[in-house]
Amino acid sequence: MVGSVVMNGMVLSAMPMGEYDKRLTILTAEHGKISAFAKGARKPNSPLLACTQPFSFGEFTLYAGRTSYTVTSAQIVSYFPGLREELSKVYLGMYFCEFADYFTREGNDEREVLKLLFQSLRALESETFDDRLVRRVFELKLISIEGEAPQVFECTCCGAKEELMYFSLRKDGLLCECCKRAEADVRLLSAAASYAMQYIVSTPPAQLYRFSLKEEVLAELEAVVEKYIQKHVNHEMKTLQVLQEMEFLV
């Protein structure tokens, strides 16, 4: 379809192109992840200068050509200004964008990922949540939306729903006391940590950021999600390396 289209979404990344232009990756509600050119967006007086930054969330008017989109204007609802007050939050937000970019596709229904990204950046901006918690909630929820959730509601071996006290990375989920005996590598998990995982996997993005965890439970969640992501995401995120180099990650 050639002509003008309106899409709601968020800029995941912006790459300089030529002398004055940008190539954007936008996660949209209507068409999944798209690429779009923003002509002249790097000129100081360009009306597209502000709206073509990463984290710009709003309504984009695009010209759909035969092979590519071009941004003609944008109405931005949020730039997430709170993130810019701390460099570690900026990079963590960029990590979320890179993670979302890696998992999403053009033409797919990615509305849940867009909602998750929006809510996670809001949570990162607010002082209410520990950034470490926001990161793990985002990672576990995104991988769950993409169909790779761990089994946290019943024993992955026998289906028992009681006394699920162990997490097995090999089995991608929880094990009961009985089935755990046959598994060599399991991790004891507190009831609070498995409840947190159940909550994250099953709750829609809009209601996700409504809890906090004690330090020891957060540490358990971090350890399990870290290993789970390593196993299921076969890709090195550039922004995660930057976060590590800058020693923003504990």
Residues in the site for Zn ion, rule: CB under 5 A?
A: 155, 157-158, 160, 176, 179
Toward Zn ion, which CB reaches closer, 61 or 151? 151
CB of 199 to Zn ion, least distance (A): 22
Separation CA 92–CA 64 (nearest Å)? 32
According to DSSP, residue 106 is labeled: B
Toward Zn ion, which CB reaches closer, 34 or 157? 157
CB of 113 to Zn ion, least distance (A): 32
Q: Where are the beta strands (DSSP E) in 1-147?
A: 3-17, 21-28, 32-38, 57-64, 69-78
Toward Zn ion, which CB reaches closer, 15 or 182? 182
Toward Zn ion, which CB reaches closer, 27 or 155? 155
Separation CA 137–CA 203 (nearest Å)? 11
What the block records as the tokens of 215 is: 């330090």
CB of 210 to Zn ion, least distance (A): 31
Toward Zn ion, which CB reaches closer, 41 or 157? 157
Sequence-separated (6 or more) residues with CB below 8 Å from residue 141: 116, 200, 201, 205, 208
CB of 106 to Zn ion, least distance (A): 41
What the block records as the tokens of 48 is: 């597209």
Sequence-separated (6 or more) residues with CB below 8 Å from residue 193: 213, 217, 220, 221, 224
CB of 154 to Zn ion, least distance (A): 8
